[in-house]
Structure 1
Amino acid sequence: MALVDSTRPLPVIVAYSAGPRELDLVELSLPAGSTAMDALNASGLLARHGLGSVDQVTVGIWMKLRPLDTLLRPYDRVEIYRPLKVDPKEARRQRYRKNKA
C-alpha cells in the first residue's frame, strides 16, 4: 500500500441529493489526514440544504456507510444520506398497484 503524501492536497467530492434527479456536488482539496467530518464542514452542503449539524446526518463513502471520523483517501466521494420518507417495500407495492390499474 502506498503511503499518503502529506504535502499534497487531498481531492475529494461531497455529494447530496435533495430529491429524485437532484444532485449537489462540491469538489474540495483538503489537507492529508482529513476526515469525512472535515469534508462535510468544508463543503457547506449542510447549511445550504438546511440539514442541521454534522452529528445529525448519516454519511457514506462510495455507497458504504462510514463514521464521521473516517480518514479520507484521494478521490473519495463522501455522500450525505437523507432519511427515507416511505418504506421501500411499501413504495414498490404502491407503484405496482398504480401500474396494474
Structure 2
Amino acid sequence: MIKVEVAYALPNEQKIIALQVAEGSSAYEAVVQSRIAEIFPQIDIENDPMGIFAKAIADPKSYILKAGQRVEIYRPLIADPKEIRARRAAKAKAKAEREASS
C-alpha cells in the first residue's frame, strides 16, 4: 500500500483526501477510492481533467501513482485567461486615454 492524496477545489472551498491505495493503482482508481465525487457531485470522474501536482496527465486510468503524489481534479475554465487579460488591458488603455484627454 502507498499513501496518496486526492484534491479538488472550488473558489470558496477545497478538499484534500489522504488515502492508502494498492501499489500499481492508477490516478483514476485513487479518485474512485477517495469517494470525493460524493462530496462534490459536480465532479465527472470520467471526463474531468486530472493532474499530479499541477501537471496535467493525459490518461488518468493508465497513470500509475507513486507514494506521496497528489491527484488533482480540475474544474472547467469559465473564461479563457488570455481573453480576460486582453479585456483588462483594453479597459486600462481606455481609462488612460480618458485621463490623458481630460
Which TM-score band applies after superposition, normalised by the shorter structure?
0.7 to 0.9
Aligned partner letter, 1:15: A
**What TM-score results when the alignment is normalised by the length of structure 1?**
0.77
Name the CA shift for 1:45/1:94 in 2 (closer, same or farther; >3 Å): farther
Percent of paired sites with the same residue: 32
The one of 84, 88, 92 equivalent to 1:91 is 84
Greater mean deviation of Cα atoms: 63-72 or 73-82: 63-72
Deviation at 1:92, TM superposition (A): 2.1
Name the CA shift for 1:31/1:50 in 2 (closer, same or farther; >3 Å): same
Deviation at 1:51, TM superposition (A): 2.8
Larger radius of gyration: 2
**What TM-score results when the alignment is normalised by the length of structure 2?**
0.76
Q: Give the aligned partner of residue 35 of structure 1.
A: 26
Moved over 3 A (4+): 93-96
Contact 1:51 1:57 in 2 (8 A): no
Name the CA shift for 1:24/1:88 in 2 (closer, same or farther; >3 Å): same
CA distance in 2, matches of 1:80, 1:49: 11
How many residues align? The count is 92
1:72 aligns with 2:65: yes
> Runs of 5+ in structure 2 lacking a partner?
96-102
Indicate the RMSD between aligned Cα atoms, in angstroms.
2.1
